[in-house]
Structure 1
Amino acid sequence: MERIQRIRPEGLIPSPAFSHVAVVPPGATTIYIGGQNAVDAGGTLIGEGDVALQSSRAVDNAKIALAAAGATVNDVVQWTVLFVDGVDLAAAYGAIAPALASDEPALVTGARVAGLGVPGALIEISAVAAIMR
């Protein structure tokens, strides 16, 4: 196996938005991206109260982190998305869907939480990526 395989097996719900299984071959470099919120380089929260704007910024921050390790969103094996309970999930997913979309989409785990470490943050996105060297 020379590349990461993302699998959507029969018997599990079919979705264009996510895969169910990912197989990373030996020799790949694994990259872990810690939780990204909608903060600028100075740590200021962007889009207070606006989950769609915060979602877009959190994805942009994840892209910056991936690029620092030589990866892109196409190399992501799994996304984890935490939403503060009560936010408009359709607006949040609508804002991040273009970044997550792919012919072979990554695995996605989403969860609602009571709060996040950054005051006012409505979403936090982390990722695991792998690249072949």
Structure 2
Amino acid sequence: MEITLVQPEGLVVSPAFSHVAVVPPGATTIHVGGQNGVDSAGALVSTDAAEQSIRAVENAERALTAVGAGLEDVISWTVLIHQDADLRAAYGAVAAKLARKGAPPLVTAAIVQGLGVPGALIEVSAVAAVIRD
């Protein structure tokens, strides 16, 4: 039994993302809600998009760790980037951390007018899946 990430024939092949994830029965699915570049008190760590991106992914990783999973278990990322953010800096700072050993995870990204946290330039959410013995 394994979790499968697929890049079907006829669709663009990218080293950055897959198109389909198959989670077998019995696997545990974990949903991580939107994480921003904030500290444990909820304050933005910086006004810099790259620094906020790094902290947002670190926060997602903390959430996963709390339930016995890790970034390597993420099968799908949603990345929301504020329209005023430097897209290359924001995404570039975390692209390697969003990767997964083997086939890459699914990725949905959007540029948005605003986020729920005033001043936030990025928000990430994730779906992970683990097979527990």
After TM superposition, the score normalised by the length of structure 1 is 0.95
After superposition, give the CA deviation of every residue in 1:96-125 in whole Å (9 maximum; x if it has no partner).
111012321110000111101111000000
1:4 matched to 2:3: yes
Give the SS at the match of 1:92. Answer: helix
Distance in 1 (alpha carbons) for counterparts of 2:115 and 2:59: 16
Deviation at 1:74, TM superposition (A): 1.1
1:34 matched to 2:33: yes
Distance in 1 (alpha carbons) for counterparts of 2:35 and 2:97: 14
Further displaced range: 57-66 or 95-104: 95-104
> Runs of 5+ in structure 2 lacking a partner?
none
Q: Which position in structure 2 is the counterpart of 1:120?
A: 119
Q: Which position in structure 2 is the counterpart of 1:46?
A: 45
Distance in 1 (alpha carbons) for counterparts of 2:9 and 2:91: 25
Give the SS at the match of 2:93. Answer: helix
Q: Which position in structure 2 is the counterpart of 1:63?
A: 61
Q: Percentage identity across aligned positions?
A: 63
Q: Which position in structure 1 is the counterpart of 2:94?
A: 96
- The aligned amino acid for 1:13 is V
Distance in 1 (alpha carbons) for counterparts of 2:122 and 2:68: 24
Distance in 2 (alpha carbons) for counterparts of 1:42 and 1:10: 46
After superposition, give the CA deviation of every residue in 1:38-69 in whole Å (9 maximum; x if it has no partner).
00011111111x11111001000000001011
Q: Which position in structure 2 is the counterpart of 1:109?
A: 108
Runs of 4+ in 1 over 6 A off after TM superposition: none
- The aligned amino acid for 2:63 is A
Distance in 2 (alpha carbons) for counterparts of 1:37 and 1:101: 19
> Runs of 5+ in structure 1 lacking a partner?
none
Number of equivalences? 131
The 8 Å contact of residues 84 and 121 in structure 2, kept in 1 or not, is answered as no
